[in-house]
Amino acid sequence: MRLILTICLVLLPPAITRAADGPVDFVRDVRPILSDNCFKCHGPDENARKADLRLDTEKSARAALGNGKPETSKLVQRILSGDPDEQMPPPASKLSLTPGEIAILQRWVREGGRFAAHWSFQSVGDVKPPMVRQAGWVRNPIDRFVLASLEQQQLKPNREASRQRLIRRVSFDLTGLPPTLKEIDAFLADKSEQAFERVVDRLLAKPGYGERMAADWLDIARYSDSYGYQVDRERYVWPWRDWVVRSFNANMPYDRFLSWQLAGDLLPNPTDEMRLATTFNRLHSQKVEGGSTLEEFRVEYVADRNHTFAMAFLGLTLECARCHEHKFDPITHKEYYQLFAFFNNIDESGVYSYFTPAIPTPTMLLTSDGQKAAIARVESKIAESEAAWRKVGGEREAAFREWLKKRPFPAVVPNPLPGRVLHMDFEKFNSGANRSIAGRFGKGVRLTGDDGIGTKVGNFRRSQPFSVSLWINTPDEKQRAILFHRSRAWTDAGSRGYQLMIEDGRLSGSLIHFWPGNALRVLTRRKVPVAGWHHVVMSWDGSNRAAGLKIYLDGRPAACTVVRDNLYKNITGGGGDTITIGQRMRDRGFTNGGVDEFQVFDRRLVDLEVAQLFDGHSLGEALATPVKQLAATQVAGLREYYLETFDKPYIAARQAARTQRDQRGKLVDGLKEIMVMTDLDSVRKRQTYVLRRGAYDAPTDPVEPDTPAVFLPFPKDAPRNRAGLARWLTSPVHPLTSRVAVNRLWQQCFGGGLVRTPEDFGSQGQPPTHPKLFDWLARDFVTHGWDIKRALRQVVLSATYRQDSTADRELVRRDPDNLLLARGPGYQLPAEMIRDNALWASGLLVDKQSGPPARPYDLAVSFKPIKIDQGEGLYRRSLYTFWKRTGPAPVMMTLDASKRDVCVVKRERTSSPLQACVLLNGPQFVEAARVFGQVLLKKHGDNLDALVTEMFRRLTSRRPSDREREILGRAFAEQLAYFTADPKRAEAFLKTGKAPVDKTLPAVRIAAAGMLANTLMNFDECLMKR
């Protein structure tokens, strides 16, 4: 035993085997072992629990621990047992404890077997910076914590990095770009105590700061310019990205930054910016493939929001609890769905539209102030003109009475009724599989349900009144059947257009831009009688309100429920421009249903006209009845008929309103929209259920929105919606929110967080390397108003951060991952910075903020090749590079950028020869190198030494040594000789990229200088943060 432990100590970095000295720490040393090996059967999940033994709480585990004597502890005896029936973990589990782990458990039991709650679920401690011996090193409180632990380990902090290194490091960390030579010189010349502070303050004020911060946030938000999954169309979400950049630059407090993204729509008086922030929740992948099960994917979207919320803001992985109780952390299956409920209440579909570019609902119109004002103007004009129209209607009683008296006699009922644009009587009908049958009048048609009957009419705008009349005969109570529609398809077109269907036996009429969130629908209360002919009319008044859509059954208006009343864009477009009867793509047809006398009118029919169509006499009878014998209902019907048909002032007022409604369409239909969060109202609220094993089609118990109990209670007076959730999340006493935030800020500066598993603050994650510092930072962050710039400033001004990254071998061997912080950070720059740096050095960078995504060279060779930009789109900062999920920018991917499929809070850092290929030969880099060479050649002429020095400085922020100058001079000479031997080589070389070649300079020299830049752009110090 002793021998084995010794070997461990020799082999392993001592920083990791702290348990060997000092008492065992339950959270750091013991719980991970129990969690990994025991909790599956002896943990929080009741269903999986074996032998009724629970080892995750002190009380339940006590009996198995023995009283400080490993010999009497059942736990220890069982793990030491060689008997396969006794041995724990059981051999069948394929788990086993190492001797080191066993030793820790034994020591723990010997020391009393004390438990402690998981560190990250306890409130943030109120800690004071410790006293240290080497107080002179300390620059701010951070350093006291770090130094105290170093002193405990008998280590010394590293020397401070050179000024060149420091300004390069901090410029990349805060703005993603290197310092200019001027900035370096100014810093070198500034001998004051505040020199570095001045640098930091200047950097934090740069617009590049927001871009650098946004780059990480886009990973967290799984931001992409395309929808994902298979078809992966482009989508319009970049205004949200610009909002992120603006918010960071404005130093929006972190609690507000989160609250807006989570619930901007639900906070008091939401502005457009606040609603735009909620796009965060809609950035998950979305599906369009035909044949998909809608609910399956809708549930997947909600789950993604839920997981993103937990990982981005709480540093927790919830996925386990989607299917069963969490095995490791105290989050139950039910709690998963309680949290899910917050995100499950928007009016969305499981697929976006294949045939139209409709934005998946809910959406927000993106309008300028001018457009907003114009919309407000037209809305008020519509209201005015509608009021005027109603008023005229009320004032025309005398004219109506006059007409009533003087109506022509005998009565004339126009046949057909005016405005009829289509009549199909099916008397001479011959259409494939559909059968001619005895109809309501003469012959009718029986539909197969798979073969639609096309027409040549029906492409109405939403401001255009219209009516459709038909006789139907349904053989059975249809769960779903399309009677007629004007649309290209059902889900594949978001149902764009209008339609009349049978749903669960009822008539359902809709006008739709994108179902369900941008549409209106009414549903009859009564069911359509089965068997026998019945007359159905759908009429629309052009008003844009559900109340304007009427359904008539057998001549009478049917009482309807409003299912949706939120149409705010056009119902035209997407194809399928004319009415089809009885069938629709991938929808259920009117199988074996009868249809007869199909008529379409380009106006709204009034009640009497509909009755006339049904019974053939109502209107005629009313017109023929003498005034005194008219029933009250007949008078009302005739009034409506008169006004709509004959009364000139009324018709003029109607036309005026219609003109304004048309105007609204013109104004709004072309406006940009973006996906946001908007909750369904209390009537339509979606009930959330626990899903058995996470399956979308296995709902069990209903649940209401709530937060997991282990952290802190949901605020009593907060609403049970995302706004309440935001309040809970940003409570100053929340144990996770501030810790997760400061950990990421630390990671941004040091390459790794104080918690090295930023994706998992739960019991399977790693505990913080400096628990007290961590708590101090988290508390300090909250106390100072969640001020991000202040927190970053404090970190980079610390002596800890300013340490040199080069360390002696002994330290590297002892602490390869720099867990002790006895040196500064050193690692390869993130993908964006590597590319931006090359563009910046060469002067090609187009440092323009915001706007549509850019398409640089490498997109042309992505897995889904994309047409690249001409001009400035080739040279924007990488933050703006067009991000397609199924074909992400290959250069970025090779350099370890995140794929942005799901929320990612830490990037992997790898090193592969594919990276070398990109940096050596990628056109973006070769072009940058040759342009850089050209710029410096122009500037320095034959002064090679000056050229080499400036090139070196711009790419590494320091001056080259004599030896380096000598090597580079030789490199230039060699390449010059190579190109001079055959000048065509130079010409070919200079053709890479679209930037112009300076014809006044010798091509061979530009090429040689370009290769010199190519060499330096692959130099360690150019690519590494040191």
Partner 1 sequence: MAEFQHARGPGNEPADRLTRQQFLRRAGMGLGAVALSAAGSARGNGVLDHPHVTPKIKRVIYLFNSGGPSQIELFDHKPELNRLHGTELPDSVRRGQRLTTMTGSQSSLPLAGSVFKFKPHGESGNRVSELLPHTSEIADEICIIRSMHTEAINHGPAVTYLQTGSQFPGRPSMGAWLDYGLGTENSDLPAFVVLVTRGKGGQPLLSRLWGSGFLPSKYQGVRFRSGKDPVLYLTNPDGLDAGARRLMLDRLRELHRADGRSGDSLLEARIAQYELAFRMQKSIPEATDFGQEPAHVFEEYGKDSKNPGTYAANCLLARRLAERGVRFIQLYHPGWDQHGNLPGAIRNQCRETDQATAALVKDLKRRGLLEDTLVIWGGEFGRTSYCQGKLTPTNYGRDHHPRCFSMWLAGGGIRGGTTYGRTDPFSYNIDENPVHIHDLQATILQLMGVDHERLSFKYQGRWFRLTDIQGKVIQKILA
Q: Residues 484-513: x/- map of binding to partner 1 (CB under 8 A)?
A: -------x----------------------
Q: Contact, 1020 vs 983, CB < 8 A? A: no
Under rule CB under 8 A, residue 759 binds partner 1: yes
| Contact set for partner 1, span 374-403 (CB under 8 A) | none
Question: With binding defined as CB under 8 A, does residue 762 bind partner 1?
Answer: yes
Phi, psi for residue 1010 in degrees, rounded to 5: -60, -45
Where do runs of H (alpha helix) occur along 124-189? 141-152, 163-175, 181-189
* Residue 707 or 764 with smaller CB distance to partner 1: 764
Site for partner 1 in 414-433 (CB under 8 A): none
Place of tokens 């935030």: 741
Site track for partner 1 across 878-897, x = CB under 8 A: --------xxx-x--xx-x-
Min dist. Cβ of residue 228 to partner 1 (A): 8
What's the half-sphere exposure (Cβ side, CA atoms, 13 Å) at 785? Answer: 6
Residue 887 Cβ vs partner 1, minimum distance, rounded to whole Å: 7
Give the type of residue at 318: L
Kindly identify the residues of this chain, within the stretch 800-839, that bind partner 1 according to CB under 8 A. 806, 809, 812-813, 816-817, 826-828
Interacting stretch for partner 1, rule CB under 8 A, among 131-139, 283-291, 680-688, 784-792? 283-291
What's CA 406's distance to the chain center, in Å? Answer: 67
Residues 42-101 that bind partner 1 (CB under 8 A): 45, 47-48, 93-95, 98, 100-101
| Residue 623 Cα to chain centre, angstroms | 61
When asked if residue 979 is in the footprint of partner 1 (CB under 8 A), the reply is yes
Residue with tokens 């090749």, as numbered in its chain: 865
Cα–Cα dist 20/361, whole Å: 58
Smallest gap from residue 592 Cβ to partner 1 (A): 8
CA R_g for the chain: 36
Q: Is residue 764 within the footprint of partner 1 (CB under 8 A)? A: yes
* Beta carbon nearer to partner 1, 304 or 673: 304
Nearer to partner 1, 79 or 1007 (CB): 1007
Residue 211 CB, nearest distance to partner 1 (Å)?
24
For residue 319, state whether it binds partner 1 (rule: CB under 8 A): yes
The torsion angles phi and psi of 196, rounded to 5 degrees, stand at -70, -40
Whether 722 contacts 677, CB under 8 Å: yes
What H or E segment, with its residue span, contains residue 246?
helix 238-249
Q: Considering the complex, state which of residue 524 and residue 975 has its C-beta at the smaller distance from partner 1.
A: 975
What token pair was written down for 407?
Answer: 């109506």
Binding of partner 1 by 1000 (CB under 8 A): no
Taking CB under 8 A as the rule, does residue 587 contact partner 1?
yes
Q: Contact, 686 vs 680, CB < 8 A?
A: yes
Q: What residues between 898 and 937 interact with partner 1 by CB under 8 A?
A: 899, 901-902, 908, 910-918, 920-923, 926
Pick the piece of the chain touching partner 1 (CB under 8 A) from 382-390, 442-450, 725-733, 870-878.
442-450
Other beta carbons within 10 Å of 412: 11
| Binding of partner 1 by 449 (CB under 8 A) | yes
Q: Based on CB atoms, which residue is closest to partner 1, 166 or 1006?
A: 1006
Length of the chain equals 1026
Closest to partner 1 by CB, 406 or 999? 999
Q: What's phi and psi for 446, nearest 5 deg? A: -110, 130
Residue 529, classified by CB atoms within 10 Å of its CB into exposed (0-12), middle (13-18) or buried (19+), is middle
From 14, 17, 117, 234, residue interacting with partner 1 (rule: CB under 8 A):
17
| Cβ-based nearer residue to partner 1, 459 or 766 | 766
Interface with partner 1 (CB under 8 A), residue total 123
- Told to check if 1018 binds partner 1 by CB under 8 A, we report yes
Kindly tell me which of 268 and 291 has the beta carbon lying closer to partner 1: 291
- Min dist CB 181 to partner 1, Å, is 20
Reading the block at residue 496, the tokens are 């764009």
* Nearest approach, Cβ of residue 766 and partner 1 (Å): 9
Span from 106-114, 352-360, 394-402, 1010-1018 in contact with partner 1 (CB under 8 A): 1010-1018
Range list of H helices, 616-736: 618-624, 632-645, 648-668, 722-729
Question: By CB under 8 A, what part of segment 844-883 binds partner 1?
Answer: 861, 863-864
Nearer to partner 1, 538 or 1007 (CB): 1007
- Concatenate the DSSP letters of all residues of 896-964 into one string: T----SS--SS------HHHHHHHHH-HHHHHHHHHHHHHHHHHHTT-HHHHHHHHHHHHHSSPPPHHH
Under the criterion CB under 8 A, does residue 995 sit at the interface with partner 1?
no
Binding mask 945-964 for partner 1 (x = CB under 8 A): ----------------x-xx
Residue whose CB is less far from partner 1, 184 or 990: 990
Kindly identify the residues of this chain, within the stretch 205-234, that bind partner 1 according to CB under 8 A. Answer: 228-232
User: From the DSSP assignment, how many helices (H) and strands (E) are in the chain?
Assistant: 38, 21
Which listed residue (185, 289, 476, 681) binds partner 1 by CB under 8 A? 289
What dihedral angle (degrees, nearest 10) is formed by the CA atoms of 1012, 1016, 1017, 1019? Answer: 150
Residue whose CB is less far from partner 1, 193 or 962: 962
Rounded Cα gap, residues 725 and 745, in angstroms: 23
Please report how close the Cβ of residue 82 comes to partner 1 at its closest, in angstroms: 20
Residue 693's φ and ψ, nearest 5 degrees, are 50, 25
Q: Is 1009 exposed, middle or buried (0-12, 13-18, 19+ CB in 10 A)?
A: buried
Furthest-apart CA atoms within the chain: distance in Å: 119
User: Which among 657, 626, 623, 656 has a CA at the least distance from the CA of 642?
Assistant: 623
Distance, in Å, from the CA atom of 502 to the CA atom of 495, rounded to the nearest integer, reads 15
**Residue 622 to residue 633: CA distance in whole angstroms:** 10
6 near partner 1, rule: CB under 8 A: no
**In terms of CB distance, is 760 or 780 closer to partner 1?**
760
696 near partner 1, judged by CB under 8 A: no
Give the C-alpha separation, 999 to 1004, whole Å. 11
- Rounded CA gap, 539 and 541, in Å? 7
